[in-house]
Structure 1
Amino acid sequence: MKDAATMASPAALASPDAYADAVATAVRAAAAYYADGSTPLGDDEYDALVRAIEAYEAEHPQQVLPESPTGKVAGGAAVGDVPHSVPMLSLDNVFSAEELESWAAGLERRLGRPVAAWCVEPKLDGLAVAARYRAGRLTQVLTRGDGFAGEDITHAADAVLGLPGRLTEPVDIELRGEVLLTQEQFEHANAVRSEHGATPFAHPRSGAAGTLRAKDRPYRIELTFFAYGAVGLPGLDHGELLDRLAVLGANTAAGTAADPRRCTTLDDVRRRIDAIAALRDALPFGIDGVVVKADALADQEEAGSGSRAPRWAVARKLQAQHKVTRLLGVEWNVGRTGIIAPRAVLEPVVIDGVTVTYATLHNPADIERRGLMIGDQVFVYRAGDVIPRVEAPLVDERTGAEQPIAFPQACPRCGDAIDTSEQRWRCVRGRGCQAVASIVYAAGRDQLDIEGLGGTRAVQLVEARLVADLADLFTLTREQLLTLERMGECR
């Protein structure tokens, strides 16, 4: 498979062969993404690839392949055998403020008037589902599938928080929304899976997809549902619809920091998008964009929908925080307390505007739990200024050339023995292994605040064997200090 970033450049799709290769790659990635949430491409790479395919098809309409993902719900990859009552469409995407403005102007041209108001809400990073209620009782839950038919996942409903088994009123409706793993649920899910000898989920979305489809597991994993629409509640503007869903007992994003807001101008929309994007790292769940909708039902009905997406709503995509790259190696570093910490060396990858070449691996037990190997394609996650971390390998992408990660047999700094009795390995010398770093830290202004005890003096004390541990600082004598170079009587 060719590199997706290479295929996404205009020059790379200058031939029919390059175009066909790009389509095959996109279809393969979409199939993995909508099957269990795994994918050989990150969100940004997939989006760029599809946009390159669209650009090629616009210039060569006679060469469009039937399997092309363009213009199809879920890229044409998802399947299902239970028909939806009303087609369950995807959203078109925009990737900049300029593209959003162009989309909004196009919608208003179609309407022949300004949009009455906008509703701005988070684009939740999970799986779209439809939950059917009869007389207020939950009877069936479906995935979106291809938009016209979905997969029955009713067996998983009792583990989905926010999806009530019974509504507060005996109505016949179909809730539509997103099922996801919150960050807390994701961490718990991977801990539970590790206890049962299962491979940890690569990231929350793959965890949600795998959990919803799993049957007969010997353990339970809870998920969370957020409603964003419904079939069977006519006559309501979008904001009114969300309020009505909350009254019926369905969970919505209204109780979160990224709650849906009604905006009267496009400037207000842009400011709300920026505000939600700024909240992204602090939210308890993942988002991959912000959804902008015409709020008024009249505007929605007049704009209508295409075969794949409604014309009155769009997703303003944000840069992905999960990316796929290659694990090139593992470095073992000794901290000032003697902790031996592994660090992943990565093929450089840009995540949220930052080039990432290293990521944390926590401890040797974490490496074994995730089943990592040198040469693996891995998911890397970065949120804000938090140190990037490796989530999990893409096992299906292995070629056979991958190599096991070699664990150190002795302290990589001093060569002494390693205490492996706990998950976090430690040099048996403890702080003594990194005595200089420990002394400099302890003498700092926020700790002991010892004036004149910096890096150079700490090295002297250790090399002269006057200090091997922090406690030795308190037993130093005047005579011992006077033996050090550039140390003399004060006059």
Structure 2
Amino acid sequence: MKNLEQEQAEQKIKSLREKIREHEYNYFVLDDPRISDAEFDQLMQQLIKLESEFPSLVTSDSPTQRVGGEVLDEFEKVEHSTTMLSLDNAFNPADLREFDQRIQKNLTGQTYQYVVEHKIDGLSAVMRYDQGSFQLGATRGNGEIGEDISKNMKTIRSLPLKISDQASFELRGEIYLSKSEFARINKARLANDEATFANPRNAAAGSIRQLDSKIAANRNLSILVYDLISHSEKEFKTHLEVFAYLKNQGFKVNWHQSAENIEQVIKICQQWHEKREELDFEIDGLVIKLNNLADRQKLGATARSPRWAIAYKFPAQQKTTKIKDIEISVGRTGALTPTAVLEPVELAGSTVSRATLHNEDEIERKDIRIGDTALVQKAGDVIPEVVKIIKAERTGKEHQFIMPEHCPVCGSKVIRPEDEAVTRCTNISCPAQRKEGILHFVSRNAMNIDGIGPALVEQLLSNNLIEDYADLYFLKVSHLADLERMGQKSSQNVITAIKDSKDREFFRVLYALGIRHVGIGAARILADNFTSIAELESTSVEKLVEIAEIGPVIAESIVGFFQERHNQDLICRLKQAGIKLARKAEQSDKFLAGYKFVFTGSLENFTRSEVKDLVEKAGGRAVSSVSSQTDFLVSGKNPGSKYKQATELGVEILTEAEFEKLLAKEKTVTKK
């Protein structure tokens, strides 16, 4: 039993935590402090003293846990429960109207509403709460896997570590550094003879990825929440309802405004372009989303972005500089891309010395010449580009650029197909193509082979040790040991990494092949629809375009890839090397393939993430809202509105016990 002293301490600690959380909310979320800094510090010191005297009463969501202190060796990897997709971009009102026309087409006859939000120039983060307490924070990473930054996120005062709703949920937000805090940090760094940060985003990124959380704590980061991904108890119909809930729970939510039509959206975008400087944080545009969550579910997403949202980007920062030269690079698909070599210029917080010229038509259309003075722009992370030429600055010494007739790398004759704007090297053995293809193959999202970078690939090719990526699997330690900057240990590590990659997931192998237009998202979709490379090789364009997310361009590229003799030989040698060219055996038993599940109410034996994993491992899909396409609703205790929707739509309703029988194959699965 607890003694009287500990019981009193527990009550005092609880009271202090509640007071401190309230004052943190007033100060960091509402910007409306009710007590002085000294009074706040006094409350915090009382709590620290009590927790030090009664360490068994310290909890992970206590306000004292915000100060940081533990130094990590590295960040642990975190797999996202839902892929963090990118947004398509709009750069002008015409782009926004086109987006609206696509919405109209897919929601024929329906009325709909938009929500407009600030597009904060920061870092996206995922947050998970369990029973109302902050449990985990992670970076976006590659959209599939991020890094665990929980300790650093706890130092963000505007992020509540404990809320009143005793639920489990996942949400997303944007970590940022205010302009005033950025100025303070840079002033201090100058005083200490340290290099200053280029812009607030870089400073925020550098702060949140500190292995020492005390450094992050001293940087005064902020976060604005913009989306709720899942909730164990509540159902929401609209995005505005989500914002109201999050705000009520003490989160600092992103600024937002509703709009009844796209013209109102355009007006809001134009207004914020004019007054963005009034904010104490950087925004590089606005995000436009459908308000109705069921409409979002209906529209779905492509392999890389949702169909129900778009990012409106403000006009980019621009400056003038000289074009010193134009160089040609050759990509892994043989595309010859012209790049302008510039006199270095500071732009959008970084030094720009190169800008893409896209293709020959772009050079001709803009009448770009070597020696010209050009207006160059850079928007966020977008590659710098030449906007236009300042022809009034011409001296007569400028000269035109002529696209080469032969590949600058291998000397082969280049061609430009009639229906394309891109000139290509047709030599599939071109060293540049081979190098880029190999680098793509070993990259993190593909086969993820550590230790193989541009320098090593260059050496392997120049020493005739490999001709393509399939040859990597036939290398030996003796082949590598004598190469520059390679020794016995480094060589062994590379060979081990190559060997370990033989068991990569099927979708990563598909992506690694380098099929034109097939990104990581499309590769996942293909892996869900085909059991092996052999099955994919024998398919047709017509069958591929039946898959919702695969269009005719991707389909034709896939079929064309497998028809080429060189690629057939590559596949054959990968098979000889022992690469898994099919789904793993345990993945082949997809007895729930094609079935969609929705869960409602409280489940006794499973968490939401557990049931989602179980369904997906069996080939099914766990979705958030009920529709006519839903096959099963699994109902726990106190089901929400989804139960009524399922009943009205005739969706089969399972109890938790029936769901367990289904997973154990004790219950027959039949398609509607």
TM-score by length of 1: 0.48
TM-score by length of 2: 0.35
